[in-house]
Amino acid sequence: MVNIILLGPPGAGKGTQAKRLVDERQMVQLSTGDMLREARHSGTEMGHRVSEVMDRGGLVTDEIVIGLIEENLHHDAPGGFIFDGFPRTLKQADALGAVLDRNGMSLDHVVEMQVDDAALVARITGRYTCGNCGAVYHDATKPTAKPGICDACGSSNLRRRADDNEDALKIRLMEYYKKTSPLIGYYYALGKLDTVDGLAEMDAVAAAVAKVLDRT
Ligand code: AMP
């Protein structure tokens, strides 16, 4: 069992790699972004509260996302947990350490996925996903075989995120550099950090991530 954080700017490929690890290693993906979108979709009070800040590209409060992670750590995860899009601030990183400790768990690796900004804009603005199975597509690099139909599950429920546009992306990137990138130093100091080239082919990125995970 290996618990890891996937760290990187929006569009670095964290979600895509997390889904592969779920399929291949019986790991459980804990994506605070997915949980928040789910809360909005199901119309909870918290979902309403976070919608404006999410659409703008800002970060929701530490208390909310820390609460979401705590609620979801009880899942049975034979292969371990993948923290995807969490932590995003130093306060969240401290809270994750504490909550893992309390549950008798530890963090094994932090994988930083490096991608330059120009590539992020291209990746994000063409991105869409299947609302049914979570498969990820892209207008230019990976369209569905049949327009409007998910290759993986046949659903026609394909969606684009409200914050996958250039204005929101600018703010998301700024938030990343200001508030999240200090975590690179934080985890380096803890001896947990590994960096992979997020611009490589998807299979090559997966192989690089696997190498980190298989290191004891
Ligand atoms: P993501 O799907 O990870 O790109 O997250 C989408 C949006 O959800 C972000 O732009 C934030 O508004 C919010 N969000 C997700 N995770 C966090 C987090 N750990 N801390 C604060 N806000 C978050």
Cβ of 92 closer than 6 Å to ligand 1, yes or no, is: yes
- Taking the CA of residue 85 as reference, the ligand 1 atom at the shortest distance is 3
Measure the CA–CA gap between 95 and 69, rounded to whole angstroms: 10
Q: So which residues are the catalytic ones?
A: 14, 88, 127, 161, 172
> In sequence order, what are the residues at sequence separation of 6 or more whose Cβ sits closer than 8 angstroms to the Cβ of residue 84?
6, 14, 15, 18, 29, 30, 31, 32, 33, 34
Q: Is the CB of 86 under 6 A from ligand 1?
A: yes
H or E element at residue 4: strand 4-7
Q: What is the DSSP letter of 22?
A: H
Residue 172 alpha carbon, nearest atom of ligand 1:
10
Residue 118 Cα to ligand 1 middle (Å): 21
Backbone angles phi, psi at 162, to 5 degrees: -65, -25
Q: Is the pLDDT of residue 216 over 70?
A: no
* Ligand 1 centroid to residue 98 C-alpha, Å: 21
Q: Is the CB of 29 under 6 A from ligand 1?
A: no
Question: 123 and 17 in contact (C-beta within 8 Å)?
Answer: no
Q: How confident is the model at residue 118 (pLDDT cuts 50, 70, 90)?
A: confident
Burial class (CB within 10 angstroms; exposed 0-12, middle 13-18, buried 19+) of 27: buried
- Residue 75 predicted with pLDDT over 80: yes
- Per-residue DSSP letters for 162-183? TT-SHHHHHHHHHHIIIIITHH
CA–CA separation, 9 vs 85, rounded Å?
9
Query: Is 5 near ligand 1, meaning CB less than 6 Å away?
Result: no
Quick: pLDDT tens for 160-198: 999 999 999 999 999 999 999 999 999 999 999 999 999
Among the atoms of ligand 1, which is closest to the Cα of residue 34? 2
Segment 128-163, tens digit of pLDDT:
999 999 888 999 999 999 999 999 999 999 999 999
Q: What is the reported pTM?
A: 0.93
Q: Which pLDDT score, from 0 to 100, does residue 215 have? A: 85
Q: How far is the CA of 146 from the centre of ligand 1 (A)?
A: 31
**Ligand 1 atom showing the smallest separation from residue 61 Cα:** 21
Find out whether the beta carbon of 39 lies less than 6 Å from any atom of ligand 1: no
